[in-house]
Structure formats: C-alpha cells, structure tokens
Structure 1
Amino acid sequence: MDAQPILIRNVRPVGFRPGAAPDAATDILVGADGRIAQVGASLIPPPAARQVDGAGGFVSPGWTDLHAHVWHGGTDISIRPQLAGLQRGVTTIVDAGSAGEATFHGFREYIIEPAQERILAFLNIGSIGLVACNRVSELIDIRSIDIDRTLAVVEANRDLIVGIKCRASHVILGSWGITPVKVAVKVAKILKLPMMIHVGEPPPTYDEILELLRPGDVITHCFNGKAGGSIIEDEDLWDLVVKCADRGIRLDVGHGGASFSFKVAEVAIERGLLPFSISTDLHDHSLNGPVWDMATTMSKLLSVGMPFEAVVTASTTAPMSAVGLATDDLLAVGKKAELTVFDLVDSDLKVRDSQGALGTLTRMFEPRHAVMGSTLVRASRHMPKEGEAKVCTCGAHG
C-alpha cells in the first residue's frame, strides 16, 4: 500500500522549544513522503489523508527512551522493540549495552534494521554484552574486554552506535573494582563518543565514577535508592553530583527493576536537581512492573514535582541531543515527522518504585498516536494483565 498523508488536528505543540509552555492548538500535515508539509489552523486534508483528532491534547517531538533493552533473542533479559516503541508513544529507543562487540552484528541485522522505530545503541564494553545478564557477567576479568574489536565494531557501525556502556556495580564487577570503568572511558575518548555508566551497589562508589566522567557522559540510575549509592544519603556526594551536572554530565533516570526511588527523586527535584533525561530501563524483569512503560515513568517524575514542560523535554529533545540527533525546528516544513500525540489526564493510579514504595499518580501521560515518517501507529500505555505485577528485589537487573 502506498504511503498516505497524515493530518493531525487540534493539538498543542509542547517540547519543541525546551522549557516553553505549550503553544496554541494547531493542525499538522505530514506528507506522503513522511515530512512536515504544513502547520496551521484548519488545514484542508489532501485526498486519502489519514486523520487524527487530537481533541485539544498535546503533540511533542517523538518520545525518546535513552535506556532500554531490546536485543530480544540475543540476551535473556531483552524485550521486543514493539513492546517499548511506537505502540507506547516512543519513536526512538536507545539500547543501553545489550550488545557487545561480539554480538552487535546480530542485533543490527535481526532487531534494528527490521524495526519500525529508530533504534540506536550504546555498545557494551564487555564483548558478550548481556547474553546471560547477571548469571554470566559481561565483565568477569580483563579477558571480557577486547579493545581492538570494540573499536572496529564501532567504526563499522557509527550510524547506529552512539556511545559506550559500562555497568559499574559489584554484582557485575566482583573484585575487579573501578578498572573496567577506566578502560571504557578510555575507549570512549578514543572514539570521541559519550559514556553511559550504570551506577548501583558499590564498589565502585558513585564518587569514584563521577570523577572519571566528562561533559556529555551519562550517569544512568541517577535516582536509585540503594544503600551506598543514593545521592541524598551523603552530602559530599550530593555536592559532587550537582557540580558534575552543572558542568555537563547528564543525569538519566533509568528506572529499571531496582534503580528508581520516589523519595530520592522527590528530594533531588525539591532541591533543584532535575534529571537531564527520563528513561525506562525496560527489560523482561521490569516490563510488567515496576516500570510498565515510558508514559508511566514520565508520570512518576511529574508526581514528585518535576514540571510538566521539563518532563516533556527530558523525554524528547534532551535524550535526542545526548545521542546526536537534531533537535532544532522539528516542526519546520520539510523536516521528517517524528511526533507523539498524547493527553495529560486525571488519575488515581497507585504504582510502586523499584524499592516497592507506593505512590499515587494524580496526572498521567497517555500516549494516543506515534508518527514516524509516514508511519502512523495508535499508541497506549502498557496495561498489566491480572497477576503480572512484580517488583524486582534482587538488585541485579538495573
């Protein structure tokens, strides 16, 4: 079937100008070529156009999840991209280290290239990636890293690989300590790419890791509530985190099964420390609780005091900028369409964080449609089936 134009009616653009309040309601016409054709009031639909009634809701740049795991079949923890992607309002998924140099070719051929979503990747510094996740660590000892092959794989796949990932907690590294982080940072420097560092159960400590990072690098699980890894239990660490954020180190939520605390996020935001980006760390152990999807994660940040416009920016243009995607004039005529149509609705949904603490979401992000070029997909939140909800308490799965 030939591609058809898409007319989105009566939506309020938000997130196209970071921090700005939503604009007045408008129509957006996407041509059959997948590019923005017109923006304005009361547009006339061309013949055969598919029409979406936004009903006065919102349209933003496509939601971008900076941390998920979608190397389905190549790791024992990854989910299929469609469970985290367009059907959930997410147009770009950044896989955070599921593949290492030894497995990236399969990830590219079997997952990334067939997907409707844009999928990019941080390449795991460990050669095997998350093949057997925490049952077989990707960073047992120095034999787990092949610098030459890692450099070669990145150079051959620079269209998709946007950085290097290292999981830095003792359940991954054992007695190896900070050394893998130092090696990963060195490789990222050689490649002139950012790092994404998973922080969790020390050692190494959060402080040690921050001291190695550069502007543009990403700390994921920034609001984890783990003993020894929480930014609100140590004023020296708090001061260091604020200083690092001010100089351009990017704090990413990375909710996951074990790495987001309502209390830590609420205290941090109340004290003026907002995350740079909001991400899910969706995987097989977090999909059916406590994460569920991107919209629920965004709603959790809204519930602990993050302003609506800041939540949208942290879920769209901020993570896009972290992986080198253009963020300027995204509604300009001629730009490829990458949009999420959503509502903000009243709610009384009770959800849990990664430590099992209960919170109530009084306002919910509800995705309605995702547009990726000429592809239009009806979107919704992931609704659990009876008996699905679970909370990971082992601390080993992010």
Structure 2
Amino acid sequence: MAFTLTNFRPIGFETAPAALHVGDDGRLAASAPAGAATVDCRGSYLSSGWCDLHVHVWHGGTDISVRAAEAGRGTGVTAMADAGSAGEATFHGLREYVIQPAAETVRAFLNIGSIGLVACNRVPELIDMRSIDVDRTLAAIERNRDVICGVKVRASGVIVGAWGITPAKIAKRVAEIAGLPLMVHVGEPPPLIEEVFDILTEGDIVTHCFNGKKAGSIADTEALWQHAIRLAGEGVRMDIGHGAASFDFGVARKALERGLKPWSISTDLHLHNIEGPVHDLATTVAKLLAVGLPLEECIPAITRRPRSVLGLATGIETGAKADFTLFDVVDAAIDATDAMGNHLRLDRMIEPRSTVIGASLQEAARRT
C-alpha cells in the first residue's frame, strides 16, 4: 500500500521533509505515488525505526525467550538483536524459526557457549572448556554472516564459576578472527569487571553497563569509574541491557552526572522481566529520561547507533526502505522500579503509536 506521512515531528535526523512518501515497493519516493493514502501523524514524533540491541527471542529454543513479536512492532521496535540465546549448536533453529519469518529485522550475537541459553543459568553455557568449540563457532559465523552481528559472552560468576576471565578472552579472540564486535555481559565476579575491561577494544559492547551488583559494577570504586569513562572515550560502547537484575537508577544517575552516557539503550527482554521491571523499550527509555538523559540523546541510542551494529541504514533519502517509529512523549505519574527494586516516579512516558516497515504501516499496542 502506498501512503504519505504528514504532520509529524522528525527527531534524530539532520534534516527531514514535511512529508514522506512510501511507494508500493516500500521505498521512499520523491513525490506521492498515484493513489497513495494520506496518513495524518497528528504531531507525533517520527524517528528511524527503534532498534533494541539486547533481547532474547529464541522462543522454544531457550527457556527464557519471548517471541520476536512480543519485543517488536507492537512496542515500537522494528529491529532487534538476540543477544546470545543461541550458540553454534542451536543457531540454525534461531535462524529458521525466528529470524527468517519475523516481521521485524532480527539479527543475533552468537553465544560463545555452544548450547547457548537452552536452560538459562540452570545449565550454564560455560562450565568448562568442553562448552566452547572454536572451530564450529567460527564455521557457524561464516555460514550466517548475513544475520550474525557479533559474539556474546556472559562474563559473570553465576555462569563461568571458577573459570573466570578465560571464556571472555576466548570470545574476544573468536570475535577478532571473525572481524566482529564482542558483546560482554558484566555482573557478579569472577571475573572482576576491570579484567573484562582490559580485553575490550573499539566497537566492543559492555551490556548491563549501569548495573548495581556489588563487586560487579562500575560504581564500586573511583578507579572503575575512570576506567569506564576512558573506555567509552576510546570507542567501547556502553549498553544499558536493563534485564531482571542489571540496571540501577542510582548508578545511571551518577554516570550521567559524570558525563558517562549510554551508547545504546536496550532491554534484555525475556520471560522473567517482560511483566516487570522492564516491560518494553519505551519504558526503558522513559527511565533514562527520568534519571536525566535528554530525549534528543535517548533517540540515537535506540535508532542510529544500534542500527549501525545490525548493518541497517537510518536515512530518509529517496529509494531508501521505509523504516520508522511514530511515538509521543506524554505526561505521566508512574511508579517504576529498576532491577534492584529501587523506585522512581516517571513524569514522562514514551508511547509508541505506529511503525512503518516497507509498505506496511501498523499501529502499536496501546498501554493499559
């Protein structure tokens, strides 16, 4: 269906026309195609399609994953990256049953542990060296270059036990060989967070960057604050990855006061947090607004930056595939919690209205 979007407020673009024309082929046209319907956006914000850089959507292949649709268009998200639900032994299923049929663009970080998150935390994917097969992992990456956007390792004690930093070092080496970024989950030691920081280079991603776990947070010491700030300045990407246990209002507020801003805002959405405290990407963005990150800085963290990791454009030039999210920022009075059980009042809420993917315009789900 061809249509023209009018009466919107562009955000996150250097320049934008007063109207956007989408042809039957789903690409932006210079003028309204014949027979195009006019869609009045009623003053809503229009951004590039929201991208959640950390979700778990290998539904049926793990015991924690939601369906891609639950993390997707109904919540304003048009693109997402599954963050390590599948390892080399299970990735073919994630590709066939989730990535290929999804209405949204789905990419994936391949877990360095061969079994991925089949039985998350109950059967850790990194028990010992038998858990990793470097040759098979590299082969899986080569077979799936079009959809694998990086390598994922969960570098925390509940996963690696006494194995410490070694799995993260192996994952980093595999990522280097493959020419991909490493996404590393930080949390309870071992390894210590500074051990993880020491192996990271430009383009790598620290997810759960503002967690509040004792002995696993950048807030533990002044030296760790300085280390994190230095890494961010060197191009290591700090990702929120809210999750059920990995985002702390106080740490986030202190980080912003120190000038350490998240490179990307993501949810770590899965079955154990979709009903709270995470809910969706819009709620996560509203929490960052509440602790002091301006809207104009939130939007690149859910559009341009994470989309670049997935290899997706954000342009609005003629011929580009249409990929947008329409949303409002509304007054609210919501008692929100972080992953540590702390409370914070949200005075503003982000409410997605519609998404555009190609020639498909779809309303988002309304909040109840």
| TM band (smaller chain) | over 0.9
User: 2:351 corresponds to which residue?
Assistant: 366
User: 1:390 corresponds to which residue?
Assistant: none
Cα displacement (A) at 1:268: 0.5
Give the counterpart letter for 2:111 in structure 1: N
In 2, distance between residues paired with 1:382 and 1:255? Answer: 20
SS in 2 for 1:134: coil
Per-residue CA shift, 1:331-369, capped at 9, x if unaligned?
Answer: 111100110011111111111000011111111111000
**Could you say what the CA RMSD is over the residues aligned between the two structures, in angstroms?**
1.4
Give the counterpart letter for 2:364 in structure 1: A
In 1, distance between residues paired with 2:16 and 2:148? Answer: 37
**1:121 partnered with 2:108:** yes
Cα displacement (A) at 1:203: 1.2
User: 1:393 corresponds to which residue?
Assistant: none
Q: Identify the match of residue 337 of structure 2 among 341, 352, 363.
A: 352
Q: Could you list the runs of 5+ residues in structure 1 that have no partner in the other structure?
A: 18-22, 384-398
User: 1:188 corresponds to which residue?
Assistant: 175
Residue 12 of structure 1 contacts residue 24 of structure 1 at CA under 8 Å; is this kept in 2?
Answer: no
SS in 1 for 2:354: strand
Give the counterpart letter for 2:365 in structure 1: S
User: 1:299 corresponds to which residue?
Assistant: 286
**1:60 partnered with 2:47:** yes
User: 2:25 corresponds to which residue?
Assistant: 33
Cα displacement (A) at 1:10: 0.4
**1:317-336 map, 5 Å:** 317-327=304-314, 330-336=315-321
| Number of residue pairs the alignment of both structures matches | 368
Cα displacement (A) at 1:26: 2.2
Per-residue CA shift, 1:183-206, capped at 9, x if unaligned?
Answer: 000000100100000001111011
Per-residue CA shift, 1:271-323, capped at 9, x if unaligned?
Answer: 11100000000000010000000100011101110011100010100111233
In 1, distance between residues paired with 2:246 and 2:257? Answer: 19
In 2, distance between residues paired with 1:267 and 1:29? Answer: 43
User: 2:277 corresponds to which residue?
Assistant: 290
Q: Could you list the runs of 5+ residues in structure 2 that have no partner in the other structure?
A: none
Per-residue CA shift, 1:33-56, capped at 9, x if unaligned?
Answer: 1111147xxxx6742x34432111
Moved over 4 A (4+): none
Distance 1:209 1:288, change over 3 A: same
**1:342 partnered with 2:327:** yes
User: 2:266 corresponds to which residue?
Assistant: 279
Q: Identify the match of residue 71 of structure 2 among 84, 99, 113.
A: 84
**1:209 partnered with 2:192:** no
Cα displacement (A) at 1:325: 2.7
In 1, distance between residues paired with 2:174 and 2:365? Answer: 39
Give the counterpart letter for 1:352 in structure 2: T
In 1, distance between residues paired with 2:366 and 2:338? Answer: 17
Residue 23 of structure 2 contacts residue 33 of structure 2 at CA under 8 Å; is this kept in 1?
Answer: no
Q: Percent identity?
A: 56
User: 2:153 corresponds to which residue?
Assistant: 166
SS in 2 for 1:100: coil
Cα displacement (A) at 1:113: 0.5
User: 1:10 corresponds to which residue?
Assistant: 7
Per-residue CA shift, 1:221-254, capped at 9, x if unaligned?
Answer: 0000110122223100000000000000000000
Cα displacement (A) at 1:57: 1.5
